[in-house]
Structure 1
């Protein structure tokens, strides 16, 4: 008679400490790190991309938004594909797509090819991001899942912290192309590990029909809005073209919402809109992450182009943010448990807004420690207060069995906010045409953009104070 043990669960699921469990964790961490690192290092490379490929502000914003657009619009569909066809299979497909697109990015002869390759990267990210966590959830025994997901969060956080420095070093010592090409050996390692060690899983209750028309409407609508905002930033914008794109985007998104009301397996179930707390938390997410998306884009560009710092220094400017979030996020979670989400979600964005205003003063001759790293630490302290309570509020607004859906929708909302904010930066800061590569115009427009971002963050804090009532629970 063979006795079961904690190291060998009777169900066949993995337990913490098993050799295979470590390999599964390694595959999901490395796969997720591809997308997390890529988000920060590409912004650092933008000045070099503009100089090498002759790209203007519109081209540079599309280098970021081509990726964000496809990722934001398709991440929910990616999760559904994993549930239906197998999470390991879709995860591997996402990694392969991301790697192939990274190679194309690194070899791109012009900005048009680079933007198209970035859109393919976003498709790969939409496949691997939701399936990575789903693999951990389905592979580990219930009593070991929290520890596995906690380890995943910590290790991907370390990767996110190293990414900006590594990206700045690559740009400064080699070429911006290596920011993309370095993904290839990591992706190869993920594929080899996953094929050998990651078990396959799927959801037997998954709906056989996928909401492909809904995804197409969402991609088209967000793409049209992004095009409209980007076009409006030109020195001589075409009002009919801009207005037409914005109107088309609004119409397509309205059609998406209408489609979701009648779809068999909607990406955005209409019942979610009846959950007051869930809706409020996602509105706050949209407002706050619009500001954050613009800050993370424009800061590293302005520090290089406007203030004259090196790519490495620009990358290291984000280190205090990541370090504080890694060190203090558990304490923020404990604070939420004691006082609820309202206080930290009010204070966090307000503190972050102060940090953004201070960062907006950076320019030529600025003291790096006092005028970049210290304000970045203030910004990071605000984010630490905000992010964990916001995530907990979103997940707690729906039943436990819908946690994956809650996380996916909130992820899509956050990325959509960043997508539209980055598209609007040249318009808001007067940085159209070649503005993002012109030192004088960057120095003039950077404080304006950062002021608007601080306003968005402050609005998110005030909205939290008004809409999150500690004595009232969401009963819908």
Structure 2
């Protein structure tokens, strides 16, 4: 952890500021799961096909993850205060656009704009916390910040059910408008003024465009495969384009004067293992939310509110798994806990793959959620535990980026595998989706056993 001068006077409103930016971060996290519950209702009201519904989730997380590193760089260049306030204003406007949507393109425009705003807002908020807190207080503040992930998932499923069953699905977006504007005007008066940056570094916009385009192409290939087949020339061509774009991004990062990402960090064993685990953990979590919300509402006939309540133990199980992992990882080591978490996730996902019924589905997903919750802790501890202080910010940005990309890929894969079931034709797609998740967890467990450093590895 970077230290600061002890002579600096702490900001008198630092805890109030933490509470305010914490609410802002919670709003960004919540906006993934709160939307998941509302997806079937959006599709019915707007006449949206399965692919468009998938992009309602993936479009947000793709823009968020693809532009996150760019947002962190912009916060350094233009000031975290300016970027935070601009991000809140854009998020409120984008949420209003999504809520007012009468067509698929209008809804997706709002969602992508929300992702752009989140990429501005999240790193700026974290930068402010690091700036206004020192020493042990900073560690406490960052602990509170980290705890928002699980609570956001838990609150999101319940709030999504309440809003969709009550005033309607549009209110999962409308609610962000007053919250965002209140935060904007309150933070504007609370945050200290920041001097203009003197650095000459520039934003690597081409790099951000390449990595976002590469991931968007990959997601489009996965979504399209659900309707047109996995083994087709078109799918192969799209996957090849994605690989070429990723390669172009890698070349760009080597040549750019101010690159978004130091790719050499990804060649280090702890960082590589941590990013793989965060990618898979997030993908499995979003797969469960995506498959579960359609299965419970479209197949089992539950309403939005009941579905939200059924998802609440799953979200709480995620928090429990993360809490237990945080307590025992020092004794067990990252490798053992990673393999155990993935094994638990695989066992939980196997339950709805083998047994039909809402009770089996909810119970299995709750077990799997405990495993993925533990993986989130292992991933962060592994990727960030052995980086130098001056690389901590960059490594954190990489982990956050893979987190959002995992959400995008999880939604796309689940949507394609369960395509027929999501459109109301049978339940075999849900079974295949949960089976695929269990297989992915098992394969990743083997990979984690091989590449995750042991308790004494460097």
Query: Is 2:401 aligned against 1:412?
Result: yes
2:330 is aligned with 1:337? yes
**1:382-420 deviation per Cα after TM superposition (whole angstroms, max 9, x unaligned):** 123322122111111321232221111012112223322
Residue 4 (structure 1) aligns with: none
Alignment pair present for 1:79 and 2:77: no
Match of 2:3 in 1: none
Aligned equivalent of 2:379: 390
Alignment TM-score, normalising by the size of structure 2 = 0.92
The 8 Å contact of residues 50 and 419 in structure 2, kept in 1 or not, is answered as no
Quick one: structure 1 residues 250 and 170, their matched pair in 2 at CA, closer, same or farther if it must change by over 3 Å? same
Q: Are 2:433 and 1:436 equivalent residues in the alignment?
A: no
Report the counterpart of residue 271 of structure 1 in structure 2. Answer: 264
CA apart distance, 1:446: 0.3
Give the secondary structure class of the aligned counterpart of 1:317.
helix
Matches within 5 A, 1:23-102: 23-102=16-95
Work out whether 1:453 is the aligned partner of 2:437: yes
Structure 2 unmatched runs, 5+: 1-5
Query: Are the aligned partners of 1:71 and 1:126 in contact in 2 as well (CA < 8 Å)?
Result: yes
Greater Cα shift, 326-335 or 122-131: 326-335
By how many angstroms is 1:29 displaced? Answer: 1.0
- Superposed counterparts of 1:41-440, under 5 Å: 41-154=34-147, 157-201=150-194, 208-235=201-228, 239=232, 241-327=234-320, 329-360=322-353, 366=357, 368=359, 371-431=360-420, 436-438=422-424, 440=425
Aligned to 1:11: 8
Distance 2:323 2:194 in 1: 30
Distance 2:282 2:358 in 1: 28
Which deviates the most, 145-154 or 371-380? 371-380
Sort the Cα spacing of 1:324 and 1:206 in 2 relative to 1 into closer, same or farther, 3 A: farther
| Unaligned 5+ runs, structure 1 | 1-8
SS at match of 2:67: helix
TM-superposition CA deviations, 1:164-217 (whole Å, max 9, x none) = 111111111221111110111110121022101123458968562111110111
SS for the counterpart of 1:233 is helix
Q: CA deviation at 1:79?
A: 0.6
Deviation digits for residues 225-270 of structure 1 (CA, Å, limit 9, x no counterpart): 2222222222589955444433222211110111111111111213
- How many residues were matched structurally? 453
Per-residue deviation, 1:342: 1.1
Once the two structures are superposed, residues 273-299 of structure 1 have per-residue CA deviations (whole angstroms, 9 ceiling, x without a partner) of: 332221232233334433333222222
- The answer to whether the 8 A contact 1:288-1:456 is kept is no
Q: CA deviation at 1:155?
A: 5.1
Q: Distance in 2 between matches of 1:274 and 1:224?
A: 24
Root-mean-square deviation (Å): 2.4
**Contact kept in structure 2, 1:341 and 1:393, CA below 8 Å:** yes
What corresponds to 1:464 in structure 2?
448
CA 1:155 to 1:466, structure 2 compared with 1: closer, same or farther past 3 Å? closer
User: Greater shift after overlay, 399-408 or 238-247?
Assistant: 238-247
Residue 163 of structure 1: how far off its partner (Å)? 1.9
1:25 and 1:287 map into 2 onto residues whose CA distance is: 30
Equivalent-residue separation in structure 1 for 2:62 and 2:278 (angstroms): 17
In structure 2, C-alpha distance between the alignment counterparts of 1:203 and 1:331, rounded to whole Å:
43
Aligned equivalents of 1:294 and 1:471: distance in 2? 31
Partners in 1 of 2:78 and 2:156 — Cα distance? 32
TM-score by length of 1: 0.89
